[in-house]
Amino acid sequence: MMKRLLHRLLSGIGVFAVLASGPAFADGVSVLSRGGTLYELRDSTPEGAVSTGLFLRTVQDGRSEAWIPVPGTADSASEVPGDIQFEETTNSVFIAYTKNDYLQSRVDFAVYRNGSWISGPLAANMGFYVSMNPKIVVTRQRYLDYNLAHEVVSKTRSILSIVWWEEAYTRQARYAPIFVEDGDLRLEDTVAYNMPDLAGERPSSEGGTYPSAIYSYPSVEPDPGSNGGVRVAFASLSTGSLSVVRISFPEDLTKINPDLSDGDKITKARGHTPVGRTVSRTPLNREIDTASAVYTALSASSIPTLFWREGNEMFYRRADAPAGSRPVKLPLDGKLSADRAERLIREMASRD
């Protein structure tokens, strides 16, 4: 059993090296703040040479440029940029990346705030594991809580949602929320959850005959119309389906335990517990077999459309397309750029 697991994990590292080679449509992953500062996560130095670590590149007003090393990445391990988000209320940059170190690969995250870094790995399952392809998004939620005078007050908090794929004894997508409450980053309260558990499904130890591209790229996006919730699309290998789960969080912390005052860790922990509800489930499609990163866009009714780029062509396929139908191909040329093709696909995918 151990030899079988180790062989699969080593194969997963090879898959990781091909699949998680970086963004498909841009050079690095980047985000723009409301104040006009561009933040970009790069794996190269200012001179363009390959480095032994990651850098956060910042550009203000198109002129003032800085390259800030990401702590813990200048070592013998190899890192691959995953995703980046900016949280406006605390002026914090959140990044997620994969760290490939010998037999294992894990997802790490870091927060850059007020000129300082806070970083650490996300909790993996026990034993050997390969974690890959993290995606993150920031949402805002209004909720009720107690103040120090034990009065009920309305507050607003930011929720950073991270989703990634993990190959371990089981093969599944995982999810972790990080909270910014009362101006504080509550990193010590971070808990990672198995997406099959949140969807009411069981995890799988096998991948069957599915191409890795179809299941190793979970996605997360804000849930429109919700109060700080998100929608996560992930492959459920136990059911052979692409599941979409709406994730929400308690909105009234005073009802969790009305006798506890603000700041109590038990109340906070319960207020951070995600509630999942499966809203769509479509069959996995074996026709999607690519070495490129695969992206997901959701319709209003949570029907996924998968898309990716191969050279000078973009491909996409709606999950509700007839069985056996092949992906649609869009040639990229001087009239249709990759960025425009992505916008068109996302706009099409948003319609039911």
User: Each residue of 154-210: pLDDT tens digit?
Assistant: 999 999 999 999 987 788 999 999 888 877 777 777 889 999 999 998 777 665 678
Rounded distance between C-alpha atoms, residue 268 and residue 278, angstroms: 25
pLDDT, residue 48, reads: 59
pLDDT, residue 329, reads: 94
Rounded distance between C-alpha atoms, residue 229 and residue 274, angstroms: 9
Q: In Å, how far from its chain's centre is CA 317?
A: 21
Torsion sign across C-alpha atoms 203, 206, 208, 209: positive
Q: What's the one-letter identity of residue 325?
A: S
Rounded to two decimals, the pTM is 0.86
- Low-confidence spans in the chain with pLDDT less than 70: 1-28, 46-51, 121, 123-128, 205-208, 257-267
In the numeric block, the tokens 């080593």 are attached to 10
Residue 267 burial by CB count (10 A; 0-12/13-18/19+): exposed, middle or buried? buried
pLDDT, residue 14, reads: 42
Of how many residues is the chain composed? 352
User: Is the distance from CB of 70 to CB of 117 less than 8 angstroms?
Assistant: yes
* Residue boundaries of the structural domains of the chain: 2-28+78-284, 304-352
pLDDT, residue 154, reads: 95
pLDDT, residue 251, reads: 93
| Secondary structure (H, E, C), the chain | CHHHHHHHHHHHHHHHHHHCCCCCCCCCEEEECCCCEEEEEEEECCCCCEEEEEEEEEEECCCEEEEEECCCCCCCCEEEEEEEEEECCCCEEEEEEEEEECCEEEEEEEEEECCEEEEEECCCCCCCCEEEEEEEEEEEEEEEEECCCCCEEEEEEEEEEEEEEEECCCEEEEEEEEEEECCEECHHHCCCEEHHHHCCCCCECCCCCCCHHHHCCCEEEECCCCCCCEEEEEEECCCCEEEEEEEECCCEHHHCCCCCCCCCHHHHHHHCCCEEEEEEEEECCCCCCCCCCCEEEECCCCCEEEEEEECCEEEEEECCCCCCCCCEEEECCCCCCHHHHHHHHHHHHHCC
pLDDT, residue 19, reads: 38
Rounded to 5 degrees, φ, ψ at 256 are: -65, -45
Torsion sign across C-alpha atoms 214, 218, 221, 226: positive
User: Is the distance from CB of 228 to CB of 159 less than 8 angstroms?
Assistant: yes
The rounded radius of gyration (Å) of the Cα atoms in the chain is 20
